[in-house]
């Protein structure tokens, strides 16, 4: 007999398109004659037996909504043996034969651990950071990048009116994808990322050169996790290895204004990037990956992450996927520098 009942959950930081992914999972599973239970607040729903019976109607009117209607959480309890065992017991009690986990790397570690305890899991990559190594693209990244571009365009208007420099801080604690693509598409003059080391002098030199060449507004896009001189900096100079929202932006704008004399303002886009209606690209990606995850469970597969390579759907063993490294696109970064201001 095939799989009769599956679970679905969203976990970790939310990402636009998670609802579209849940919708695809639910409708694909119902199409296959399976029943679906939604776990509320990620793994916490499995631990505390908070499950919702999903129907075609329960995912109606959700495809265009940001956030996640199943709610999400980072679950420290699930990292304990006791928490995991409770989740396994809940799955067994409800006859859940497989779970689709929609989230990032942390969520996939949970999926691997749950699979190892007898509940087959399939991971669907969703995070605005695009920092999941096995896939070219993650659900939410396109929407977040478009938000950055929209905001950068608006900041450019006011920066130009005032002949100012604008420092725009974007998300990405450890990964510069949002900054790189958002920076290129937003026409940034300087892009600062965690993957590349910068000195304050490099940045000052570039800004002064642009001003000398007659440029009115200067746009700097910086990842929250970018470092200067190898250090994470805030106005109190150094954090203790912890990324602080707004830390690098306020530090950089104050230093730039003091050193160059150019009026500088900063804007921390923060969690705005995580919200909003998903783009068409994210909705289609969510539909494809959600549908594929259900096919995997139907075929009796487990401990896999579904992914995109060369625009094709592929899947990897979760453990292997977690060990993979996503090479930073150095050519893209060089190109960005060559065509900036
Ligand atoms: O991983 C997604 C992400 O949005 C990061 O870009 C950011 O650093 C982090 O989550 C913020 O997490 P929280 O919502 O817990 O503040």
Report the chain's mean pLDDT, rounded to a whole number.
96
Contact between 79 and 85 under an 8 Å Cβ cutoff? The reply is no
Token reading at 292: 């594929």
Q: What is the pTM of this model?
A: 0.96
Atom of ligand 1 nearest to the CA of 274: 4
Token reading at 111: 């999926």
Residues with CB under 6 A from ligand 1: 13, 127-129, 171-173, 224, 274
Residues 6+ apart with CB under 8 A from 337: 191
Token reading at 294: 């259900």
pLDDT the model gives residue 336: 96
| C-alpha to C-alpha distances, 307 to 61, 115, 132, 235, nearest whole angstrom | 26, 18, 9, 40
Residue nearest to atom 11 of ligand 1 (CA): 13
Cα dihedral 33, 37, 42, 47 sign: negative
Is residue 31 very low, low, confident or very high in pLDDT (cuts 50, 70, 90)?
A: very high
- Give me ligand 1 centre to Cα 13, in Å: 6
Give residue-wise pLDDT tens across range 195-218: 999 999 999 999 999 999 999 999
- The residue-averaged pLDDT of 291-306 equals 98
Give residue-wise pLDDT tens across range 234-280: 888 777 778 888 899 999 999 999 999 999 999 999 999 999 999 99
Is residue 41 very low, low, confident or very high in pLDDT (cuts 50, 70, 90)?
A: very high
- The residue-averaged pLDDT of 69-88 equals 96
Instruction: Name the residue of 11, 13, 129, 269 to mutate for ligand 1: max ligand atoms within 8 A of Cβ.
Output: 13
Write b or e for each residue in 53-78: b if 16 or more Cβ atoms lie within 10 A of its Cβ, otherwise e.
ebeeebbeebbebbbbbbbbbbbeeb
Q: What percent of the chain has pLDDT over 90?
A: 92
- The residue-averaged pLDDT of 98-108 equals 97
Atom of ligand 1 nearest to the CA of 273: 4
pLDDT the model gives residue 304: 98
- The residue-averaged pLDDT of 68-93 equals 97
Instruction: Name the residue of 12, 102, 173, 179 to mutate for ligand 1: max ligand atoms within 8 A of Cβ.
Output: 173
pLDDT the model gives residue 130: 97
Residue nearest to atom 15 of ligand 1 (CA): 13
Of 113, 129, 189, 315, catalytic: 129
Nearest to 337 by CA among 193, 149, 138, 122: 193
For residue 129, indicate whether it is catalytic. yes
Residue 1: pLDDT over 70: no
| Number of neighbouring beta carbons within 10 Å of residue 340 | 16
Count CA within 13 A, CB hemisphere, residue 289: 36
Atom of ligand 1 nearest to the CA of 173: 8
């Amino acid at each position: 007999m095939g799989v009769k009942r599956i679970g679905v959950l969203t976990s970790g930081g939310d990402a636009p398109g998670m609802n579209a992914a849940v919708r695809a999972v639910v409708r694909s599973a119902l199409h296959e004659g399976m029943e679906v239970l939604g776990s509320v607040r990620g793994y916490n729903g499995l631990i505390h037996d908070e499950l919702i019976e999903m129907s075609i109607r329960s995912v109606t009117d959700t495809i265009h909504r940001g956030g996640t209607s199943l709610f999400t959480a980072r679950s420290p309890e699930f990292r304990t043996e006791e928490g995991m065992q409770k989740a396994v017991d809940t799955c067994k009690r409800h006859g859940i034969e497989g779970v689709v986990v929609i989230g990032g790397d942390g969520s996939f570690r949970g999926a691997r651990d749950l699979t190892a305890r007898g509940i087959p899991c399939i991971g669907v990559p969703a995070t605005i950071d695009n920092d999941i190594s096995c896939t070219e693209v993650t659900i939410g990244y396109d929407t977040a990048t478009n938000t950055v571009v929209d905001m950068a365009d608006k900041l450019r208007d006011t920066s130009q009116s005032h002949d100012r420099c604008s420092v725009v801080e974007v998300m990405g604690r450890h990964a510069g994808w949002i900054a790189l693509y958002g920076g290129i598409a937003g026409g940034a003059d300087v892009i600062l990322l965690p993957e590349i080391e910068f000195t304050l002098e490099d940045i000052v030199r570039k800004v002064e050169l642009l001003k000398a060449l007659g440029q009115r507004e200067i746009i700097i896009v910086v990842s929250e996790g970018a470092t200067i001189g190898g250090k994470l900096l805030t106005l109190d100079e150094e954090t203790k290895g912890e990324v602080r929202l707004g830390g690098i932006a306020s530090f950089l704008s104050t230093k730039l204004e003091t050193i160059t004399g150019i009026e500088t303002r900063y804007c921390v886009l923060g969690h705005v990037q995580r919200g909003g209606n998903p783009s068409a690209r994210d909705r289609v990606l969510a539909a494809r990956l959600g549908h594929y995850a259900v096919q995997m469970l139907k075929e009796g597969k487990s401990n896999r992450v579904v992914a995109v390579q060369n625009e094709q759907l592929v899947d990897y063993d979760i453990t292997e996927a977690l060990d993979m490294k996503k090479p930073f696109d150095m050519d893209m970064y060089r190109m960005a520098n060559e065509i900036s201001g």
